[in-house]
Amino acid sequence: MTSALITALTVVVVGVEQGILLAIVLSLVDHTRHGYRPKNAVLVPDESGHWQPKPVATAAQAEPGLVIYRFTHSVYYANSQQFSDEISLLASIAEPPLRWLCLDGAAVDDVDYSAVETLRSVHAKLKAKGIRLVVANEMEDLKAHTRDRLRELFGADAFYDRLKDVVKQYRQTFNVAAPLKRSDSTPGGS
């Protein structure tokens, strides 16, 4: 909104060409700012089963021992430290302790070399703590470029097409019962 106002004022005061150039510069600055410090989240299902984002610092769990972490930008040299720090935070403060951490790749369309190295490091740290790293919702571009390298590292069975597939497998692995829906817990509910 502020960028639009500044651009409009520039067009009125200075001229159209200068306003367009300023809009391009402001857009690039805004894009870079979002890429360096993306607003990531953990996802939890609501009562109707839809995924709701919560701040990473809450370490909210989708199931007891399962965190679904959504990184909201491409992972590259400028934000890979944030990626690593947030996953380390989740692994250290989660209650109950984590068994699985799922990386929701719905917004990750690229992973550069430094980010792959960060993924290797994160994977090793989680594995040392007994936490399995899995991936869901991989974008097609990412599958084509990095899936073989990541499959080799995480294991072929660590990749899921949908979040609900992760939850289903997690429940089966740890014999976790699905929570009752509100209609299931009321008398006469079907």
Summarised one tens digit per residue, pLDDT across range 85-103 is 999 999 999 999 999 999 9
Alpha helices in 98-162 (DSSP H): 113-128, 140-154
Q: Distance (Å, rounded) from C-alpha 92 to C-alpha 99?
A: 12
Q: Which residue has the tokens 């690039």?
A: 28
N-to-C CA span, the chain: 47
> How far is residue 32 CA from its own chain's centroid?
18
Rounded Cα gap, residues 54 and 41, in angstroms:
5
pTM: 0.78
Distance of CA 182 to the CA centre of its chain: 28
Q: Is 131 helix (H, G, I), strand (E, B) or coil?
A: coil
Distance CA 66, CA 170 (A): 8
pLDDT 10s digit of each residue in the chain, 190 long? 576 777 777 778 888 887 777 777 767 666 565 556 789 999 999 988 899 999 999 999 999 999 999 999 888 888 999 999 999 999 999 999 999 999 998 888 777 888 888 989 999 999 999 999 999 998 765 666 566 677 778 888 898 999 999 999 999 999 888 776 554 444 444 4
Omega prior to 64 cis, within 30 of 0: no
